[in-house]
Chains A and B, each alone.
Chain A
Amino acid sequence: MHIEVSGLYKKFGDFQAVTDVNFEIEKGQLIGLLGPSGGGKTSILRMLAGLESVDKGDIVFHGKRVNDLPPQERGIGFVFQNYALFKHMTVEGNIAFGLEVKKWSKAKIKDRVAELVELTGLSGFEKRYPHQLSGGQRQRVAFARALAPEPQLLLLDEPFAAIDAKIRHELRSWLRDMIDRLGITSIFVTHDQDEAIEVADQIMIINKGRLEQKGTPWEIYKNPQSPFVAEFIGESTIVEDASSLRGFGNASDWPGTKALIRPEYVEVGKPSDFKLLSATESGRVRHVHFRGSEWLVEVEVGSTRLVTYRSLEKEIVHPGDEVQVLIHRAYLFNNNDSWIMENKLKEDPMPVHI
């Protein structure tokens, strides 16, 4: 389903939950609404579902304004954070509920339920009650129940929040595959950036009721359009005075400019590791953490502490080691503007042409 939202506002009492949100979603996409808790993500999702009224603005499905349609008539499936399974019904009963309500024939209901049980890998659990299932199984029942009436749009509110970390990972890729296979437009809410990056085609970053940025995970990572997005996505260190960093002296042209530096922008090594030593400055290793697939190195340059990753293939550095630090690039921002700046000293000032 093609979805268009324009000028969306929502207030709860004195609290402005959603402010002027605009976006458009192509059919078949999987969208992640990402942002800190209480930022308005769930309110947006609930307004799309019709579970919350809209103060101002339009929600358009397939070219048709649905603001005044009740949830029953929007053709959506909704997976709740706590799953909201009907406790007094079996797995089968839960999945069949939406079909019975829509007065499908008995035979058709039976087929559809069997199909979904198969699809969600719940075979053998049809006669169980929700309290006899594990968290992951409940989640899949909720998913099957929402999908049963063949909705055009699937909305998921923090679908993995209540599941332990290990199974969460499995379920994520399972959900991704499932949605790919069904080709159903889906929107899910999460406060976990890894989840959004891993699963979503496109991410919408929501903060304080506003849509900060919309784009593919890579676009958002590479080119954050606001300091909030830059800081929220990925790991980073903020340096109060950007011009103090070697290679970024130009930043002093814009007073009050801060720098945000991601671990992958930083490289540490011996002087012989770098082609252009003039672009580096010396620092001291403070801490080294083993991260399973790489080292996380904390290094101190002057008074700023930076974080970087180091491949396991490279020579091991130890706390206290004197190293050279190269900052490839930084995300600079001040009150008015934000941009990405490359290390100016990295380009050879006197290239030798042969």
Chain B
Amino acid sequence: MSSMLQGRWWSWGFRSAVMLYFVVLIIFPIFGIYGQSLSSGWSAFADNITEPLAWKAVLLTIKLALITTIINALVGTMSAWVLIRYRFPGRRLLNSLVDLPFALPTAVVGLMILLLLGPHSLVGEWAEKLGFTILFHQPAIIIAMVFVTFPFVIRAVQPLLEEMETSDEEAAYTLGASRATTFWRVILPNMLPGILSGAMLAFSRALAEFGAVVLVAGNIPGKTLIASVYIFGEIESDNTLGATAVSVMLLTISFLILWTVNYVQMRRKNG
């Protein structure tokens, strides 16, 4: 009897501790930001949001994150396909390398790009000759974002591909479907939930990336100044309200995406 009581107390305490941890670590700061952004009233919030510098930064971030997402959805899907369907020496090594962008400090990623693509590097000089600069311009930002969000789509598509047996394709062939038809009508629909949820997570992450981007982004409003760098700048110049306003916009977008991802995955499980 006493052991059962202990068990119950233990489980209650355990659950409460986890709950408290969540509240302190995640929910408090998030509500804090929403609260902060509105601390000087709605009009101040509206002013901060309609400030051209702010919304241009957010728009630019969304645009670049979208491009990043499209690139990673395509390349990620292809990479997942190659890693699952082909057997070649080095496949396992390659597969383990996929997670590297998660493990690397993002500042190191930024530095890598800075050194690799800078004006005095081979690639930089070559691009200069062709008439454009990579560093401190949009290409560098996209490269940083692509690098950091690379694993999402691959890791979301891989289990779906593993689950799918080759007999599905063979069945399509015996029913008269060409390779192309089989891809569009049988293989792709199977991968799609993974591509979508992976892409949305990648988008969400690209939107918020700071470490890798801050070293290679510029500060021309509407051209190379992205949201996270703008937030940093606002804090530096002591405008907390401006920083929180942009933060709230990013947060809201991220929430919407997270919710959609959950919805897509739930539908996949039930549907």
A78 touches B170 (CB 8 A): yes
Please tell me if B162 contacts chain A, counting CB pairs below 8 Å.
no
A71-115 Cβ-contact flags toward B at 8 Å (1 or 0): 110001110111011111000000001100110000000000000
Q: Which residues from chain A contact B165 at a C-beta distance below 8 Å?
A: 82, 84
A-B contact count (CB 8 A): 62
Contact with A72, one of B178, B189, B190 (Cβ below 8 angstroms):
B178
Contact with B176, one of A72, A80, A129 (Cβ below 8 angstroms):
A72
Please tell me if A146 contacts chain B, counting CB pairs below 8 Å.
yes
Please tell me if A261 contacts chain B, counting CB pairs below 8 Å.
no
Within the complex, the shortest CB–CB distance from A159 to chain B, in Å, comes to 13
B174 touches A101 (CB 8 A): no
Please tell me if A138 contacts chain B, counting CB pairs below 8 Å.
no
Contact (A80, B172) CB under 8 Å given A86-B186, A97-B185, A101-B177 = no
Within the complex, the shortest CB–CB distance from B124 to chain A, in Å, comes to 46
B181 touches A71 (CB 8 A): no
Majority SS at the chain B contact face = helix
Please tell me if A145 contacts chain B, counting CB pairs below 8 Å.
yes
Interface size on A, residues (CB 8 A): 26
Please tell me if A230 contacts chain B, counting CB pairs below 8 Å.
no
A84 touches B168 (CB 8 A): yes
Please tell me if B93 contacts chain A, counting CB pairs below 8 Å.
no
Q: Which residues from chain A contact B176 at a C-beta distance below 8 Å?
A: 72, 98, 101-102, 149
The 5 closest A-B pairs by CB, nearest first: A98-B175, A84-B167, A78-B174, A84-B171, A71-B173
Sample of 13 A–B contacts (CB below 8 Å): A49-B174, A51-B173, A72-B174, A77-B175, A81-B167, A84-B165, A84-B170, A88-B189, A88-B190, A98-B176, A146-B174, A148-B175, A149-B176
Chain A residues at the B interface, C-beta cutoff of 8 Å: 49-51, 70-72, 76-78, 80-82, 84-88, 97-98, 101-102, 129, 145-146, 148-149
Inter-chain pairs besides A84-B167, A87-B190, A102-B176, 20 sampled, C-beta below 8 Å: A50-B173, A50-B174, A70-B173, A72-B174, A72-B176, A76-B174, A78-B174, A82-B165, A86-B168, A88-B190, A97-B172, A97-B175, A97-B177, A98-B177, A101-B172, A101-B175, A145-B171, A146-B174, A149-B175, A149-B176
